[in-house]
Structure 1
Amino acid sequence: MDLLEMQTKNAYSLANVLQICINHKAHKAGKLVQAHLHRTNQLSNTFLVNRLIELYSKCGHTAAARHLFDQMPLKNIFTYHAVLDSYCKLNDFSNAYQVFDQMPERNSVSWNLIISMLSRNGPKEKALESYYLMRLSGFVPTHFTLASVLSACGGVGNVECGRECHGVAIKIGLSGNLYVGNALLGMYMKCESIKDAVVVFKDLPEHNEVSFTAMMEGLVEADRTDEAFDMFRLMHREGIIDGVSLSSVLGVCSKSVVEEFLVNNDNEEKRQGTHGRQIHALLIKLGFERDLHVNNSLLDMYVKHGYMDCAEILFDSMVEVSVVSWNVMIAGYGKQYNMERAMKCLKRMKTYGFEPDEVTYVNMLAACLKSGDVETGLKIFNSMPFPSLTSWNAILSGYSQNEYHREAVMLFREMQFRNVRPDRTTFAVILSSCAGMGLLEGGKQIHAALLKAEFCTDLYVASGLIGVYSKCGKIEVAKLVFNKLSQYDIVCSNSMLAGLSLNSMDTEAFTFFQKLLGKEISPTEFSYATLLNCCSSLSSLSQGRQVHGLIAKNGHANDVYVGTALIDMYCKCGDVDGAWQFFDMMPCKNTVTWNEMIHGYAQNGRGQDAVNLFEKMIRTSLKPDCITLVAVLTACSHSGLVDAGLKIFNSMQQEFGVEPLSDHYTCIVDSLGRAGRFKEVEEIIEKMPYVDDSVIWEVLLSSCRVHGNVNLARRAANELFRLDPSNSAPYALLANMYSSLDRWDDVKDVRGVMEEWQVNKEPGYSWV
């Protein structure tokens, strides 16, 4: 009896020692205990060996834990759980399932370990399958089970399964559990079911940082930033703020930057920037100014708003920085096209002993490519020892966006030679380049690769395929790709709609649009802009007005792109007053909107209105671009407003900082030529740098013919003969001018030159 008591006391002492080892992750001390157990023949003690396995699992020595597990003569459920937990933490699916299948009995903990592993890092559909198997086996889910399953539901967007779990939680009395409640919030937000999330939030008996953060992030994803800020204010009033919530609300500030093209951008962006500064002050007040994660979020907020001065001050004052901090600064310089500062930042980063990571290189690539410096971008890419797929996608995207389409295709081929497997982003980018080049054969080859890689059903990639075939004039093939999709979204539908419009199948585009409405697919701003372009092509004002009604009904009338397309449609259909009425009511206008309205007046012979609108645009402090000036100069030319046009032309460089291009010279030469002011035309021609632009000389020759200016006509014709001897137009214009002046010998000479150069005049034909 005394011996048994001694063994019991000894086992109790060893268990305490092992618990201390587990608490401190003391792996070496555990090995000494194992040696002692081996020496004293206590390895058959299941309780002590279970603790040893738990220790090895906690220390990450899974192989040692498994070795002990395999040697154990007697195992209980705790033994299996210790090893299973170890494999689940390593996301070792194969061994985890092997141990799970060997278990003679299972309980809720066993199922929770498997479901949690699959929910975190495995195929989330498998997590849901395991949950249903658990229920069929008669086990009641715990709050851990429901939290894992709800996370998996959110990951795959399965709101129906999530609602079923919600029902189970209510039935077993866990709906008020904070852990389950937070998981429900996250699931509903990820499934974009905001109303359900709000109901869950209100019904929770208490809230913590996770509850508020889940609500904020979900509201931001749903573009409800004002409500996200309200949620943070409520959180602040309840005194539940931590570093994660501060980082989240700074993310809200970063994400709420308004698009640059809006005229009211400055006021709105200042408002959001003010929110960021207020939170900056709050985090200092709460003592988070030394928190690295919070400071990185603050840096990101300043950078995304373009406040690089504030970002630099903050960065220099940070007591601790990380690679993430440097990456944010590099990205900020890249956003401002400041390649020089980005390179200096990278050098400083290396000087301070920080090793650039994948994100650093991607940010540097983005900085180069945004600045149009493709050559430096390629050097950075080539300096990467093992570029990841993200880096390949970044350089391909940069080439495509800078219209280096041929180089993008060549780089894609090199990617294949290096056995880097492309993903949906890669295929979408390269298809965009093929479409930009009109490279049908390249598109077909990529289509074949997509079929092999089973990517054709991916809507993102299918949209790119439709774009390639549409732009290459193979609209029937594009239709085939679209019709083979088992389901489609608005992005794919927009690609198909744009393809029909591009191939002048405007009536069919309307039929397709009606089909979308029948399928209850909500059109986007792009859908409406494309449809309005079809109305313009058909000169169908009645259809355009119907589309306008639909736009107003669905709340897209204030969108600047849609508004600009509406103005273009009304102008091209001849209802310039209708265009002006809508233009005048638009709350947000960009330069393109003003250009369309000015151009609309020019198209419809309302030159003085175009000039007045141009002057009004300048008074609103909006800077005209080269297209604005072409539109207003065209209006002056067509309406005989020569002096107004000349004044605008002469002020282009000084007042607006726009260097006159060949189109501007064409407009002013046409304007002066129509008025017969050839002396001024000659002065402009002597100074202009575009002597090799045939359009300018054709316009001048046409004006000379009208006014009978033979000398200048000959000069214009000689320039055109020099530029393109085979073009019959200048010969015909010159001959017609001579014939109108009864100079038949000169007509004969022109025709003789045509015969000598074998220039054939194309015969005219009727459109009727």
Structure 2
Amino acid sequence: MWTVAGEIMGLWSRDIPEPNEVTFTTMIGALAQTDQFKEALELFRLMLRKRVPVDSVSLSSILGVCAKGERDIGLCHGLSCNAQGKQIHTMSIKLGFDRDLHLSNSLLDMYAKIGDMDSAEMVFVNLNQHSNVSWNIMIAGYGNRCNSEKAAEYLHRMQCDGYEPDDVTYINMLTACVKSGDVRIGRLIFDCMPSPNLASWNAILSVYNQIADHREAIELFRKMQFQCQHPDRTTLAIILSSCAELRLLEVGKEVHAAAQKFGFYDDVYVASSLINMYSKCGKMELCEHVFSKLPELDIVCWNSMLTGFSINALEQDALSLFKQMRSLGFFPSEFSFATIVSSCAKISSLFQGQLFHAQIIKDGFLDDIFVGSSLIEMYCKCGHVHGARCFFDLMPGKNTVTWNEMIHGYAQNGDGRSALCLYSDMISYGEKPDDITFVAVLTACSHSSLVDEGLEIFNAMLPKFGVVPKLDHYTSIIDCLSRAGRFHEVEVFLDTMPCKDDAVVWEVVLSSCRIHANVTLAKRAAEELYRLDPQNSASYVLLANTYSSLGRWDDARVVRDMMSDKKVLKYPGYSRSVCKNDTQMILENKQ
């Protein structure tokens, strides 16, 4: 039976008659560096069978293999890397290397990386001496376990024992705080650093970006520049992401200038972040400028441009770009297909969507969850719910997003009963509904007049599934009750819900009051809307129309006079016909 170890021995028998511990250790290290962990372990076992002397360096090398290989290879020859690492630990004690500091640090590193911090503690306690490396490994280990308190404890003990924290120590502590979500301690650690290096800056910037405190991230970036610390591509990508989220175009332009100053004008990673930032600021012409200046493109840049066109409602441009990408020989990723199919959904182009569906099958992305969810969305938005359901039933794997998309598709197309059945199936299959699921199913109940069913689902959200009702859920159930004219229950919700200061809820109530001629509640809803959004003409018009429908012309005139006195303008409605493709014409009504 052919093995890597046997092949290596065949080569050695010709070139190296008697391989020694140095030869074996070198080869084990080379295999580990190329992520051939099984082969490295196999070679170590061959070393033992050949009775080649094993030293502390050999053991340290194979411990590194166990540390890296645990997540990648799992079982090897019936044993996990964890178990094999413990066997090597036993061997090191048997061979008398238990006091070797380098080997002990390798043991610490192995246990820390596989998450066995109890064993790491035992090794650490029994060390006759420590080093900065030992302390850093323990801090990193607890950081990886999201235990910033324990990591901070080791930092404190390290300093009490007279060891000076180095850059690695601070990076490990920052990482621990990031993974534990402990921003306050992370910032204290960062502020204690005498001269933070680039990795430290990137770590703290990443913290604020992840918790969506983008303004603080930008302020720290400015501070970084004042301290003459040059950014790298990671720094620039983080800050551009923060600028994109806050739609800070001018700050984004400044970061763009900094990227050019520091030589990142042709870096595709930075370019993708610039395209994302400019597209979210609505500046597609600047996206195209950045894109056109790149000497080499990758699929990430193409995807960034596709997303930019999509979020700016330039779906035809997205379709043209996708065609250009294919013509230049770029192979679309699953993200490319998910984006372009979503663009077809937005313009209700079933013909284009079906063409992309065929291409997805040909390119082998049909089993991707996100591509599948986009196809379901496309078929539903094009009114082909049966096609969406057929595809949904054939999907080999489903997640919450997929179920939500199909339930929402039924809701959009007014088939509330099917949405409820699918919701029940989702729970039966063990998939836990999330807040988006409940928005979809409550919307379905509202559109299909399934009021009692909607109330039952809403009341089960928190006690049964642990989902706290949010504004969208209250809006949906209030809309459901209002459409049915059950205004007494609507008022109970209005009085008890936590989100009273949202105009959408009151617009829903006011619109239904006009249909059911409930003047008392209509006046209350209109007064709330006057308070929340005094220049919105909808509240005045809806209340005036409510009075008009009952023949109360004087009251309607008072409302319209009030609207005139406050200089509230109502813009006229219009319709726009747009040719979407050769086979389809979409009529978009705008109010």
TM-score, with length taken from structure 2? 0.83
Please tell me whether the aligned partners of residues 208 and 217 of structure 2 are also in contact (alpha carbons under 8 angstroms). yes
Give, in angstroms, the shift of residue 317 of structure 1.
Answer: 4.7
Give, in angstroms, the shift of residue 687 of structure 1.
Answer: 1.3
Letter of the aligned partner of 2:67 in structure 1?
L
Residue 366 of structure 2 corresponds to which residue in structure 1? 557
Letter of the aligned partner of 1:214 in structure 2?
A
Residue 438 of structure 1 corresponds to which residue in structure 2? 247
Residue 482 of structure 1 corresponds to which residue in structure 2? 291
Give, in angstroms, the shift of residue 351 of structure 1.
Answer: 4.0
The residue matched to 2:358 in structure 1 has which SS?
helix
Q: 1:29-82 deviations in whole A, cap 9, x for unaligned?
A: xxxxxxxxxxxxxxxxxxxxxxxxxxxxxxxxxxxxxxxxxxxxxxxxxxxxxx
Residue 163 of structure 1 corresponds to which residue in structure 2? none
Gap change, CA 1:658 and 1:441, over 3 Å in 2: same
Letter of the aligned partner of 1:315 in structure 2?
E
Please tell me whether the aligned partners of residues 673 and 703 of structure 1 are also in contact (alpha carbons under 8 angstroms). yes
Q: 1:384-404 deviations in whole A, cap 9, x for unaligned?
A: 011001111111222222222
2:423 is equivalent to residue 618 of structure 1: no
Letter of the aligned partner of 2:419 in structure 1?
A
Give, in angstroms, the shift of residue 681 of structure 1.
Answer: 1.4
Residue 113 of structure 2 corresponds to which residue in structure 1? 301
CA distance in 2, matches of 1:592, 1:329: 39
The residue matched to 1:204 in structure 2 has which SS?
helix
2:96 is equivalent to residue 279 of structure 1: no
Letter of the aligned partner of 2:296 in structure 1?
Q
**Which of 509, 512, 522 in structure 2 is aligned with 1:703?**
512
Give, in angstroms, the shift of residue 553 of structure 1.
Answer: 3.2
Residue 428 of structure 1 corresponds to which residue in structure 2? 237
Give, in angstroms, the shift of residue 669 of structure 1.
Answer: 0.5
2:280 is equivalent to residue 471 of structure 1: yes
Residue 764 of structure 1 corresponds to which residue in structure 2? 573
TM alignment of 1:614-763, pairs within 5 A? 614-763=423-572
TM alignment of 1:215-234, pairs within 5 A? 215-218=31-34, 220=35, 228=36, 230-232=38-40, 234=42
Gap change, CA 1:213 and 1:570, over 3 Å in 2: farther
Residue 251 of structure 1 corresponds to which residue in structure 2? 68
CA distance in 2, matches of 1:505, 1:679: 45
Gap change, CA 1:670 and 1:278, over 3 Å in 2: same
Unmatched segments (≥5 aa) in structure 2: 14-22, 49-57, 578-591
Q: 1:316-366 deviations in whole A, cap 9, x for unaligned?
A: 454336545544554455556554444334334434554332233223323
Residue 259 of structure 1 corresponds to which residue in structure 2? none
Gap change, CA 1:450 and 1:689, over 3 Å in 2: closer
The residue matched to 2:575 in structure 1 has which SS?
coil
Letter of the aligned partner of 1:278 in structure 2?
A
Please tell me whether the aligned partners of residues 599 and 635 of structure 1 are also in contact (alpha carbons under 8 angstroms). yes
CA distance in 1, matches of 2:348, 2:8: 53
CA distance in 1, matches of 2:294, 2:213: 31
Residue 312 of structure 1 corresponds to which residue in structure 2? 118
2:352 is equivalent to residue 543 of structure 1: yes
The residue matched to 1:238 in structure 2 has which SS?
helix
Give, in angstroms, the shift of residue 199 of structure 1.
Answer: 13
**Which of 46, 64, 82 in structure 2 is aligned with 1:238?**
46
Give, in angstroms, the shift of residue 668 of structure 1.
Answer: 0.7
Give, in angstroms, the shift of residue 711 of structure 1.
Answer: 1.5
Please tell me whether the aligned partners of residues 374 and 398 of structure 1 are also in contact (alpha carbons under 8 angstroms). yes
Give, in angstroms, the shift of residue 765 of structure 1.
Answer: 2.1
CA distance in 1, matches of 2:62, 2:282: 52
Greater Cα radius of gyration, structure 1 or 2: 1
**Which of 390, 396, 401 in structure 2 is aligned with 1:592?**
401
CA distance in 2, matches of 1:342, 1:471: 38
Give, in angstroms, the shift of residue 695 of structure 1.
Answer: 1.0
CA distance in 1, matches of 2:397, 2:29: 33
With 412-421 and 352-361 compared, the bigger mean Cα shift is at 352-361
CA distance in 1, matches of 2:10, 2:287: 50
Gap change, CA 1:667 and 1:442, over 3 Å in 2: same
Q: 1:394-443 deviations in whole A, cap 9, x for unaligned?
A: 11222222222222222222212111122222222222222222222222
Residue 523 of structure 1 corresponds to which residue in structure 2? 332
Gap change, CA 1:689 and 1:754, over 3 Å in 2: same
2:197 is equivalent to residue 388 of structure 1: yes
Gap change, CA 1:616 and 1:217, over 3 Å in 2: farther
Residue 576 of structure 1 corresponds to which residue in structure 2? 385
Residue 17 of structure 2 corresponds to which residue in structure 1? none
Residue 204 of structure 1 corresponds to which residue in structure 2? 11
Please tell me whether the aligned partners of residues 339 and 371 of structure 1 are also in contact (alpha carbons under 8 angstroms). yes
Letter of the aligned partner of 1:684 in structure 2?
F
Give, in angstroms, the shift of residue 293 of structure 1.
Answer: 4.1
With 228-237 and 439-448 compared, the bigger mean Cα shift is at 228-237
Residue 358 of structure 1 corresponds to which residue in structure 2? 167
The residue matched to 1:676 in structure 2 has which SS?
coil
Residue 19 of structure 2 corresponds to which residue in structure 1? none
Give, in angstroms, the shift of residue 200 of structure 1.
Answer: 8.9
Q: 1:525-567 deviations in whole A, cap 9, x for unaligned?
A: 2222222222222322232233233333333333333333333
Please tell me whether the aligned partners of residues 117 and 142 of structure 2 are also in contact (alpha carbons under 8 angstroms). no
Q: 1:719-767 deviations in whole A, cap 9, x for unaligned?
A: 2122222221111111111111112222122223223333232322223
Letter of the aligned partner of 1:765 in structure 2?
Y
Please tell me whether the aligned partners of residues 330 and 363 of structure 1 are also in contact (alpha carbons under 8 angstroms). yes
CA distance in 1, matches of 2:160, 2:367: 50
CA distance in 2, matches of 1:326, 1:561: 43
Gap change, CA 1:361 and 1:624, over 3 Å in 2: farther
Gap change, CA 1:736 and 1:245, over 3 Å in 2: same
Please tell me whether the aligned partners of residues 599 and 631 of structure 1 are also in contact (alpha carbons under 8 angstroms). yes
Give, in angstroms, the shift of residue 212 of structure 1.
Answer: 4.8
With 385-394 and 245-254 compared, the bigger mean Cα shift is at 245-254
Gap change, CA 1:208 and 1:334, over 3 Å in 2: closer
Gap change, CA 1:575 and 1:657, over 3 Å in 2: same
CA distance in 2, matches of 1:622, 1:495: 32
Please tell me whether the aligned partners of residues 37 and 65 of structure 2 are also in contact (alpha carbons under 8 angstroms). no
Give, in angstroms, the shift of residue 370 of structure 1.
Answer: 4.5
Q: 1:468-527 deviations in whole A, cap 9, x for unaligned?
A: 222222222222222222212222222222223233333333333333334433332222
Please tell me whether the aligned partners of residues 75 and 81 of structure 2 are also in contact (alpha carbons under 8 angstroms). no
Residue 586 of structure 2 corresponds to which residue in structure 1? none
The residue matched to 1:479 in structure 2 has which SS?
helix
Gap change, CA 1:340 and 1:494, over 3 Å in 2: same
2:315 is equivalent to residue 506 of structure 1: yes
CA distance in 2, matches of 1:495, 1:202: 49
CA distance in 2, matches of 1:703, 1:270: 63
Gap change, CA 1:547 and 1:719, over 3 Å in 2: same
CA distance in 1, matches of 2:485, 2:181: 44
Indicate the RMSD between aligned Cα atoms, in angstroms.
3.2
Please tell me whether the aligned partners of residues 568 and 597 of structure 1 are also in contact (alpha carbons under 8 angstroms). yes
The residue matched to 1:763 in structure 2 has which SS?
coil
Give, in angstroms, the shift of residue 372 of structure 1.
Answer: 4.7
Give, in angstroms, the shift of residue 571 of structure 1.
Answer: 2.4
CA distance in 2, matches of 1:335, 1:610: 42
TM-score, with length taken from structure 1? 0.65
Gap change, CA 1:316 and 1:673, over 3 Å in 2: farther
Kindly indicate whether structure 1 or structure 2 has the higher relative contact order, using CA contacts under 8 Å at least 6 residues apart: 2
Gap change, CA 1:716 and 1:330, over 3 Å in 2: farther
Count of residues paired in the alignment: 546
**Which of 497, 521, 528 in structure 1 is aligned with 2:306?**
497
